[in-house]
Amino acid sequence: MKFTSVMTWLAVLALAFFFTACGRQEEKPATTVEKKPNIVTTVAPITSIVENIAGDKIQLAGIIPEGINSHTFEPIPSDSKLLSSADLIILNGFDLETPTLKLAQANLKTGASIYSLGDKTIKEADYIFDFSFPKEQGHPNPHLWLNPEYAMRYATLVRDELIRLDPKNKAVYEQNAAQFLKKLETLDQAIKEAAQTIPQNNRRLLTYHDSWPYFARRYGFQVIGAVQPSDFADPSPREMVRLIEQIKKAKVPAVFGSEVFPSPVLEQIAREAKSRYIDKLRDDELPGKPGDPQHSYIGMMAENMTIMFEALGGSTEALKKVDPAPVAGAHADYRRKD
């Protein structure tokens, strides 16, 4: 073989090696960097439910920041970017997030979908209309998730929707959902048990924000009123007098406000009716900081129940067996919008 042909062969071999190496390099990212579905949710309890079931298999962002009024929340322009990158947008529905829903519809990417949980959880006959959500206005009370039975339904709906979107991780979603459902059952049982320790006469709720009717229906409480009218303004003086009389007559030991809606009006009503005013309930704000075990839907419920049941003269012993931490694998890749 002449020197020139040896050189040619060497060149061919070198090229072959180069392309093989390149080929390998190109394959590598495809197998190791797996593209995760992008899921956008609205209120924190729903984000927490999704997080429990999806674990680290998705990219997750919650649109509605905690500690603000979710009922009047208007998304900011940069939220359209987040919504347009979503493969799936999960909402509560029942007109809770109308501005966010509109922005999501306007920015939905091809092949993506919007999924609302509320209307798939209860039948129309079970919708609750009340003082803050009157039937004439046509928006049912949206706070279904404060009834853990409905949170279980949310969890199974989310599980099935994640499997549809990302079938290769079906086993993970099923396993996480099964564990999470077991935890929700424990929560439900603990609430039932603890509620029984409250004197029957005290199982009455007067709240500022009207979040508790679906909860009340499940655990045998009577909602004697919600102070916040449907336009989120303060109640009229006549309505205040009526509520004070009602609390006095029913001898309710405590009335409840929430951290999101500080209410001097309810505080005044409580004072005049000689009842305690407790402003610590939460309907869509999780306790603790992101990453804390109690910063979860279950953590929020356990804390609410502890505050509410203690104030109404019950024992909270049963609630101590509730473990608020998300199921294994959760918390990873959880992007919280600031």
Residues near Zn ion (CB under 5 A) are 211, 283
| φ, ψ of residue 125 in degrees (nearest 5) | -65, -20
Residue (112 or 117) nearer to Zn ion, CB: 117
113 vs 104: CA distance, rounded Å: 9
Q: Give me the least distance between CB of 189 and Zn ion, in Å please.
A: 25
CB of 72 to Zn ion, least distance (A): 10
Minimum distance from CB of 120 to Zn ion (Å)? 20
Residue 21 Cβ, how far from Zn ion at the closest point, in Å? 58
Asked if 294 contacts 318 with a C-beta cutoff of 8 angstroms, the reply is no
Q: How far apart are CA 144 and CA 226, in angstroms?
A: 16
β-pair type (113-116, 204-207): unpaired
Task: Identify which of residues 66 and 283 has a Cβ nearer to Zn ion in the complex.
Answer: 283
Q: Is 139 or 159 the residue whose CB approaches Zn ion more closely?
A: 139
Q: Which is nearer to Zn ion, 73 or 173 (CB)?
A: 73
Is the CB of 59 or the CB of 228 nearer to Zn ion? 228
User: From the CB of 78, what's the least distance to Zn ion, in Å?
Assistant: 24
Nearest CB to Zn ion, comparing residues 169 and 211: 211
- Going across the sheet that includes 222-226, the strands are 222-226, 204-207, 254-258, 276-281
DSSP 67-101: TS-TTS----TTHHHHHHT-SEEEE--TTTTHHHH
Cβ atoms 154, 145 nearer than 8 A: yes
Closest distance to Zn ion from the beta carbon of 105 (Å): 23
**Which residue number places its CB atom closest to Zn ion?**
283
DSSP strand E in the chain: where? Answer: 38-41, 59-62, 88-91, 113-116, 204-207, 222-226, 254-258, 276-281, 334-336
CA-CA distance, 43 to 150, in Å (whole number)?
Answer: 15
